[in-house]
Amino acid sequence: MERRVLDIGKAVLEKNQGLANLLRQDFAEKGVYVVNVVSSPGSGKTELLTRVLDRIASQLRTGVFVGDLATDRDAARLEGHGAEVLQINTDGYCHLEANMIREAWHSFAEKKLELLIIENVGNLVCPGTHDLGEDLRVVLLSTTEGEDKPLKYPSIFKTAHLAVVTKLDLAEPVGWDQAAALQNIRDVAPGTPIYLTSARTGDGISPLCDELLSKALSKSGEVARR
């Protein structure tokens, strides 16, 4: 019984990987740069994205898929910041899967996006195992969660290409030990670039946006040069 369950789990992941590979190929052909944002619930994904969109969406045609178990609250918060926004309700699923992105992507086919940001379901475990065809996986760690999360949830930090510390404005009241937190990220994911941000004050948003812009423009440029 145990073995059978594990094999099915593997089959599900392989099916997801196959779909993610097809998505990645399609994204490459169209020159759209895709970012998958993962974190705990309440780490500030949506708030950070509103600030990022305010800087980026006027320079690149940007779309956002927002994954949640229920409600369209995050989509509502993201509207009015210059991007096309679509809420994906997972109906109990703890993460987004490639087939959900494929379906959502069909509905965005005519929008000729240059940048697609996927805000995953708030969860530090499950989204780590499901490739969505993204170019860049970004993991957030908020100062309010505590410095030990990279050690306790290592897989999602290991699979991320870039880490963003959020809610820096709350560092003092929560007693945030920044040296320890950065060391924990580095211990689990050596070499992963780390950006320090506060969506509330705007600190650190510019360097993060510059990095995303540069990567996205480089990808659309590659397609244009073909």
Q: Looking only at residues 184 through 223 of this chain, which bind a second copy when binding is defined by CB under 8 A?
A: none
- Give the separation between CA 152 and CA 220, rounded to whole angstroms: 37
CB 104 within 8 A of CB 65: yes
Which range in 24-32, 66-74, 107-115, 216-224 contacts a second copy by CB under 8 A?
66-74
Contacts of 17 (CB under 8 A, 6+ apart): 98, 131
- 145 belongs to the binding site for a second copy (CB under 8 A): yes
Which range in 8-16, 30-38, 57-65, 218-226 contacts a second copy by CB under 8 A?
8-16
- Which of 173, 190, 191, 226 is close enough to bind a second copy by CB under 8 A? 173
CB of 171 to a second copy, least distance (A): 10
CB of 24 to a second copy, least distance (A): 22
CB of 156 to a second copy, least distance (A): 9
Among residues 130, 129, 150, 126, which one has the least CA distance to residue 140? 150
- Which of 136, 170, 182, 194 is close enough to bind a second copy by CB under 8 A? 170
- 121 belongs to the binding site for a second copy (CB under 8 A): yes
Residue 52's φ and ψ, nearest 5 degrees, are -65, -45
- Looking at the Cβ atoms of 16 and 220, the one nearer to a second copy is 16
Residue 30 tokens read as: 């169209």
- Which of 13, 28, 69, 86 is close enough to bind a second copy by CB under 8 A? 69
- Which of 12, 109, 180, 223 is close enough to bind a second copy by CB under 8 A? 12
Secondary structure of 42-80 in HEC code, one letter for each residue: CCCHHHHHHHHHHHHCCCCCEEEEEEECCCCHHHHHHCC
For 69, 103, 149, 185, the CA distances from 140, given in Å and listed in that order, are 19, 26, 10, 11
Residue 194 tokens read as: 């780390």
- Looking at the Cβ atoms of 65 and 153, the one nearer to a second copy is 153
CB 43 within 8 A of CB 15: no
- Looking at the Cβ atoms of 22 and 174, the one nearer to a second copy is 174
- Give the separation between CA 218 and CA 60, rounded to whole angstroms: 12
- Looking at the Cβ atoms of 171 and 194, the one nearer to a second copy is 171
Q: Which residues bind a second copy (CB under 8 A)?
A: 1, 4-5, 8, 11-12, 15, 40-42, 68-71, 73-74, 92, 94, 121-126, 142, 144-146, 148-149, 151-155, 167, 170, 173-174
